[in-house]
Structure 1
Amino acid sequence: MSVRTEPSATTSPLTASSCPFERTDPLVDFFGIILWPLKWAVEAILVGWHWLFTSLGLSATGGVTWMLSILGVVLVVRGALVPLFVRQIKSQRAMMELAPEIRKIQDRYKGKRDQLSREAMSRETMALYKKHGSSPLSGCWPLLVQMPIFFSMYYTLSDVKHHAQQGVGGVGLLNAELTKQFNDSKLFEIAPFHQTLGEAWSAGQTATIIILVVLVILMIASQFYTQLQIISKNLSPEAKTGQAYQMQRVMLYILPLGFIFSGVFFPLGVVMYWFFSNIWTMVQQFIVIREMPTPGSEAAKAREERLARKGKALDSKGKIVPMAVYEAEQQRLLEENEKRKAQQPKRQQPMSKQRAKKQGQRPHDGDSGAAGTPAK
Structure 2
Amino acid sequence: MLEPFIYPVSGILKLWHLLLHGVFGMDDSVAWLVSMFCLVLTVRGFLIPFFWVQVKSARIGVSIRPAQAALREEYATRTDRESVLEYQRREKELREEHGHSISAGCVPALIQLPVFLGLYQVLLRMARPEHGLEVAAGTRIGFLNDAEINAFLAARVNGIPLPAYIAMPPETLAGMGTTSGEVRSFILPYLTAAILFTTVNLITSIWRTSQTMDWESGMARGVHKLLIVMTIIVPLMLLSIALTGPLPVAIILYWFANNLWTLVQTLIMYPLVDRRIPLPEGFHDAAREQRERAREALRKRRTIVWDARRRKAVGAAMPWRIPGIRRELRAERAARKEEWLEATAERRALEKERQKVRSEIQRERTEERVAAWQARFRGKKAKSSNPPEEPTASDEPDRGPSAAE
The answer to whether the Cα contact below 8 Å between 1:39 and 1:153 also exists between their aligned partners in 2 is yes
Give the direction of change, closer, same or farther, for the CA distance of 1:134–1:273 in structure 2 (3 Å limit).
farther
TM-score after normalising by structure 2 = 0.50
CA contact (8 A) 1:42 1:73 kept: yes
Which residue in 1 is equivalent to 2:199?
A: 224
Structure-1 residue corresponding to 2:25: 57
> Who is 1:276 aligned against?
257
Partner letter of residue 119 of structure 2? Answer: M
**In structure 2, distance between residues paired with 1:156 and 1:47:** 11
For residues 72 and 141 of structure 1, what CA distance do their matches in structure 2 show? 26
- Per mean C-alpha deviation after superposition, the further-off stretch among 260-269 and 177-186 is 260-269
Map of 1:149-188 to 2, 5 A cutoff? 149-160=115-126, 161-162=129-130, 164-188=134-158
Structure-1-length-normalised TM-score? 0.53
Q: For residues 201-229 of structure 1, give each alpha carbon's deviation from its aligned partner in whole angstroms, at most 9, with x where no partner exists.
A: 99671332455554443223213323444
CA RMSD of aligned residues (A): 4.2
The equivalent residue for 2:268 is 287
Pairwise CA distance, 1:97: 1.9
| Aligned-partner residue type, residue 181 of structure 1 | A
Q: Report 1:24-39 matches (<5 A).
A: 31=1, 35-39=2-6
In the other structure, the counterpart of 1:312 is none
Please identify the structure whose Cα radius of gyration is greater. 2
Q: Does structure 1 residue 199 correspond to structure 2 residue 174?
A: no
**Equivalent position of 1:305 in the other structure:** none
Q: Which amino acid aligns with 2:198?
A: Q
Between the two proteins, the alignment pairs up a number of residues equal to 253
Per-residue CA deviations over 1:101-137 (Å, capped at 9, x if unaligned) read 4555777899x9xxxxxx99x9799856677554666
The residue matched to 1:81 in structure 2 has which SS? helix
Cα distance in 2 for partners of 1:253, 1:271 equals 24
CA distance in 2 between counterparts of 1:140 and 1:268 reads 34
- Of all paired residues, the percent bearing the same amino acid is 24
Q: CA deviation at 1:89?
A: 1.5
CA distance in 2, matches of 1:222, 1:275: 8
In 2: Cα distance, 1:88 partner to 1:210 partner: 39
Partners of 2:166 and 2:252 lie apart in 1 by: 10
One-letter code aligned to 2:162: F
SS of the residue corresponding to residue 293 of structure 1 reads helix
- The answer on whether the counterparts of 2:139 and 2:146 sit within 8 Å (CA) in structure 1 is yes
Pair 1:86-2:55 in alignment: no
Secondary structure at 2:168's aligned position in 1? helix
2:114 matched to which residue of 1? 148
Q: In 2, are the aligned partners of 1:158 and 1:194 still within 8 Å (CA)?
A: no
Q: How far apart, in 2, do the equivalents of 1:137 and 1:216 lie?
A: 36
Q: Is residue 88–residue 139 contact of structure 1 (8 Å, CA) maintained in 2?
A: yes
Q: Residues 239-250 of structure 1 correspond to what in structure 2 (within 5 A)?
A: 239=212, 242=215, 243=217, 246=221, 249-250=224-225
Change (3 A) 1:75 1:198: same
Task: Please tell me whether the aligned partners of residues 53 and 65 of structure 1 are also in contact (alpha carbons under 8 angstroms).
Answer: yes
- CA shift, 1:93, in A, is 0.5
Amino acid paired to 2:5? L
Would the aligned equivalents of 1:230 and 1:289 in 2 still touch at CA under 8 Å?
Answer: no
How much does 1:77 deviate? Answer: 0.8
Q: How does 1:1-376 map to 2 (within 5 A)?
A: 31=1, 35-54=2-21, 55-60=23-28, 62=29, 64-101=30-67, 132-134=98-100, 138-139=104-105, 141-160=107-126, 161-162=129-130, 164-190=134-160, 192-196=161-165, 198-199=167-168, 205-229=180-204, 232=207, 239=212, 242=215, 243=217, 246=221, 249-250=224-225, 252-256=227-231, 257-258=233-234, 260-261=237-238, 263=242, 264=245, 266-294=247-275, 295-296=277-278
The structure whose residues are more often helix, as a share, is 2
Distance across 2 between alignment mates of 1:247 and 1:187: 43
Pick 1 or 2: higher relative contact order, CA cutoff 8 A, min separation 6: 2
- Check whether the contact 1:157–1:267 (CA below 8 A) recurs between aligned residues: no
Alpha-carbon distance change, 102 to 281 in structure 1, aligned in 2, over 3 angstroms: same
Contact 2:6 2:122 in 1 (8 A): yes
Gaps of 5+ in 1: 1-30, 113-118, 298-376
CA distance in 1 between counterparts of 2:192 and 2:108 reads: 24
CA separation of 1:289/1:155 partners in 2, compared to 1, >3 Å: closer, same or farther? closer
* Alignment deviations for residues 156-202 of structure 1 (CA, whole Å, 9 cap, x no partner): 33333346332344244322221111011123221x32345553699
CA 215–109 in structure 1, closer or farther in 2 if over 3 Å, else same: farther
